Amino acid sequence: MTKAMSVAAKTKQIVKKHGNDKSGMIAVLQDIQETFNYLPKEALKAAAKAMKVPFSRVYEAATFYTAFSLKPRGKNIVKICLGTACHVRGASALQDKFERTLGIKPGETTEDNKFSLETVNCVGACALGPVVVINTDYHGQVTMKKIDKMIDNINKEGAR
């Protein structure tokens, strides 16, 4: 089975799980992204066909929400909160540290596909600022030293 075929087959299973109904489009896209770590074009086409909606509708939803990515992402997604509370507590310095340590800018992925770096406007944990979310784990009151420990832990344990 080719890669495109396996993507299409897996996507059909995901759509079926949601009742083959366009009303579940966001949930379908979330599950596709969870499965592939981004939204492959082949998956979007397969989802559109299975839900009997134009590809443009699926693409519109996939590009509207910033939580979705059309580019392959690293195994570990590092999100730095740049909301007001985090910003005033030094989030931009943390961003600089992540950029130097990982060798990438926001929106990029390391060559080994281990990390992707993203910035977000708010993660809703203002009292813990500055906040960094790695995959689904929230890290509050992040310092420069904590960044090194977080990255070392991922490199040792493999995270995800």
What is the reported pLDDT for 67?
A: 85
Assigned token pair, 102: 């990982």
pLDDT digits (tens, 9 = 90+) for 56-73: 999 999 999 988 999 999
pLDDT beyond 90 at 20: no
Please state whether the peptide bond connecting residue 72 to the residue before it is cis, i.e. omega within 30 degrees of 0.
Answer: no
Rounded CA gap, 28 and 32, in Å? Answer: 6
pLDDT beyond 70 at 159: no
Q: Which CATH superfamily is domain 76-157 in?
A: Glutaredoxin (3.40.30.10)
pLDDT beyond 60 at 93: yes
Rounded CA gap, 155 and 90, in Å? Answer: 25
pLDDT beyond 60 at 52: yes
Per the model's pLDDT, the better-predicted residue between 124 and 2 turns out to be: 124
